[in-house]
Amino acid sequence: MDNLIARIAKFPLPQRIAVMVLVLLLLLVGTYFLAVEPLDVKIVQHDSQIARLDTELVKKKAIARDLTRYRVEVERLKQRLNEALTLLPNEAEIPELLQKLASLVQQSDLVMKQFEPQAEQVAGFYAKIPVKMAIAGNYHSIAVFYDKVAKLARIVNVTDIKLRSPKVENKRIVLAAEFVATTFKFVETAPAAAAAAAGGVKPIIQK
């Protein structure tokens, strides 16, 4: 090394300056590859991690901000489900609903002639429960009965209405009305089991 320095010292000034510049450049390049470049790689990695964490933070802040709205939406959906359960009763409430339907006949000053529940008709998550009915009374009382049925909290559809056999009783015209009253329920058992249970339903009143 000393010999090399001695030899360089004998070079003309321009050559010595060129050698010093070259040595300095080699030191700078070596320093960059040994020290600076690894730091640059770590900085890039850290910047990428920070960007990812910032994105996650924004998402979590958005979720936290909307948490109250989500809770309100869940409560609203629960309320709608409860309303649906009210409109579509379960298995245990069907006899009570049918009894209510029969009571409306008496409350409307009518005479029950037929009350015959039919087999359930399963359609997905609900089942139809048709009831063949026949009542007798004056036209006004029959209309009052249909109005009361329409105002029930449960869904009851009245179809196939037939008015026939008008006659005079106690100085008033009495009609016979035949129709099908159909209510609905949530299906809580397998379709086969529901059909088997429906097959066991027998007429309540038939004259």
Question: Are 102 and 30 in the same domain?
Answer: no
pLDDT score, position 104 = 92
Q: Can you read off the two tokens belonging to residue 65?
A: 């901000």
Q: Are residues 54 and 98 in the same domain?
A: no
Q: Containing domain of residue 126, as a range?
A: 91-206
Q: Is the pLDDT of residue 132 over 80?
A: yes
Rounded Cα distance, 22 and 35, in Å = 20
Among residues 168, 102, 105, the alpha carbon closest in space to that of 142 is found at 105
Asked which of 69-83, 111-125, 150-164 is least confident by mean pLDDT, the reply is 69-83
* 102 and 14 inside one domain: no
Residues 58 and 117 in one domain: no
Question: pLDDT tens-digit profile of 76-108?
Answer: 877 877 776 666 666 656 788 788 888 999 999
95 residue type, one letter: P
Say what percent of the chain tops pLDDT 70: 69
Number of domains the chain contains: 2
Residue with the bigger pLDDT between 106 and 30: it is: 106
Instruction: Determine the pLDDT at residue 152.
Output: 85
- Global pTM? 0.50
